[in-house]
């Protein structure tokens, strides 16, 4: 390879090697940072310990191969080899780890969503088939009980689809910073008012207003989800306390607290994952989709804020979000 070619490869951010007669003759800084400076002069079979990659590099026509664990245990790299001269190969390494991780997340999401829909749908079909039987369908008491179950399962699917649509809309605008003028105190008063029909939901604030740049619809959804969760999983008939504070540090703090059983500590790190439930049977019985807290997390992140959950067994759970106040 010419001096100009070596200089050009050195400028690349992509790891690149020149292999001649099976030995690494040159490695740019990115490649040495990835594989170590000692690879220069090494047999390529030692420098890159992957049979498929080595086969592509030593091939007369070049080729590509996917390698795992080249940098870290879970990393995925594409090895691209091109023939640039007699017995000389240019090897480029492309990090596919993030792309593969995103693809896996999407695949897991589709699988989980399909599973969540399959169960209530199977129940609906089962009860419909039973009702089509003249012996069972002719009994009014059995018929009404089965229709009630069908309605419950249909509502469960409807809630899940609604949450899936919400996640999709949030994902579509996640890189767009919201800019509407939102007063969190007024918004909290409005949302809390929706729950006062018999629920013990109270609101306190240390300020007259707490103005942020936000998306009104999404922030309303955050408050509804958190209050709804506190009512479902808190102490039956117990109070739910909502508070809004404006701090001198330039942040607004919103907290929703219940006095329920609390969440076991081993579940807290994963509690905002999609479809994750600390208590699966209780969540489904309460009508939960397993997406509510994930929706909250995504909305808060879009608003450049922070979402935390603290919980102590026997004492209850506090969900808090910090959002940057709008500059005057």
Residues 101-149 pLDDT 10s = 777 777 777 777 777 788 788 888 888 888 887 776 567 787 888 888 8
Query: For position 4, what pLDDT does the model report?
Result: 62
Using alpha carbons, select from 45, 52, 53 the residue that is nearest to residue 23: 45
Per-residue pLDDT at 71 exceeds 80: no
d(CA 187, CA 168): 24
More confident residue, 35 or 319: 319
Query: For position 98, what pLDDT does the model report?
Result: 79
Q: What is the CATH number of domain 96-172?
A: 1.10.287.130
Distances (CA, A) of 88 to 2, 9, 288: 12, 15, 60
Average pLDDT of every residue of the chain: 85
Using alpha carbons, select from 212, 215, 237, 244 the residue that is nearest to residue 320: 244
**DSSP assigned state of 248:** T
* Chain segment 178-220, per-residue pLDDT in tens: 989 999 999 999 999 988 766 689 999 999 999 999 999 999 9
Query: For position 154, what pLDDT does the model report?
Result: 87
* Percent of the chain clearing pLDDT 70 (strictly above): 91
Provide the b/e sequence for 161-194 (b: ≥16 CB within 10 Å): eebbebbeebeeeeeeebeeebbbbebbeebbee
Q: Does domain 3-95 have CATH number 3.30.450.20?
A: yes
Question: What mean pLDDT comes out for the span 257-274?
Answer: 89
Query: For position 138, what pLDDT does the model report?
Result: 67
* pTM > 0.75: no
- 176-328: CATH architecture: 2-Layer Sandwich (3.30)
Query: For position 140, what pLDDT does the model report?
Result: 78
* Chain segment 233-256, per-residue pLDDT in tens: 888 888 999 999 998 889 999 999
Show me where the domains of the chain are located.
3-95, 96-172, 176-328
């Amino acid at each position: 390879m010419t001096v100009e070619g070596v200089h050009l490869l050195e400028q690349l951010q992509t790891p690149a090697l020149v292999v001649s007669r099976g030995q690494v003759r040159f490695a740019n800084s990115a490649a040495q940072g990835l594989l170590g400076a000692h690879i220069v002069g090494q047999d390529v079979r030692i420098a890159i310990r992957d049979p498929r990659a080595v086969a592509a590099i030593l091939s007369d026509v070049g080729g590509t191969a996917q390698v795992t664990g080249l940098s870290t245990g879970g990393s995925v790299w594409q090895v691209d080899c091109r023939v640039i001269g007699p017995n000389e190969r240019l090897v480029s390494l492309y990090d596919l780890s993030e792309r593969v991780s995103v693809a896996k997340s999407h695949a897991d999401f589709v699988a989980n969503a399909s599973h969540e829909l399959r169960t209530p749908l199977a129940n609906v079909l089962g009860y419909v088939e039973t009702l089509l039987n003249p012996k069972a369908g002719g009994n009014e008491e059995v018929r009404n009980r089965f229709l009630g179950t069908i309605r419950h399962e249909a509502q469960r699917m409807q809630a899940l689809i609604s949450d899936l649509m919400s996640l999709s809309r949030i994902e579509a605008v996640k890189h767009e910073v919201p800019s509407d003028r939102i007063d969190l105190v007024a918004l909290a008063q409005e949302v809390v008012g929706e729950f006062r029909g018999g629920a013990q939901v109270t609101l306190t604030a240390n300020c007259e207003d707490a103005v942020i740049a936000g998306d009104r619809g999404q922030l309303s959804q955050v408050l509804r989800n958190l209050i709804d969760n506190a009512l479902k999983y808190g102490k039956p008939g117990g109070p739910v306390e909502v508070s809004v504070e404006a701090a001198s540090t330039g942040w607004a703090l919103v907290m929703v607290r219940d006095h329920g059983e609390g969440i076991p500590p081993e579940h807290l790190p994963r509690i905002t994952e999609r479809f994750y439930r600390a208590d699966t049977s209780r969540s489904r019985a309460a009508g939960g989709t397993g997406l509510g807290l994930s929706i909250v997390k995504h909305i808060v992140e879009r608003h450049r804020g922070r979402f935390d959950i603290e919980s102590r067994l026997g004492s209850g759970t506090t969900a808090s979000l910090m959002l940057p106040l709008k500059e005057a």
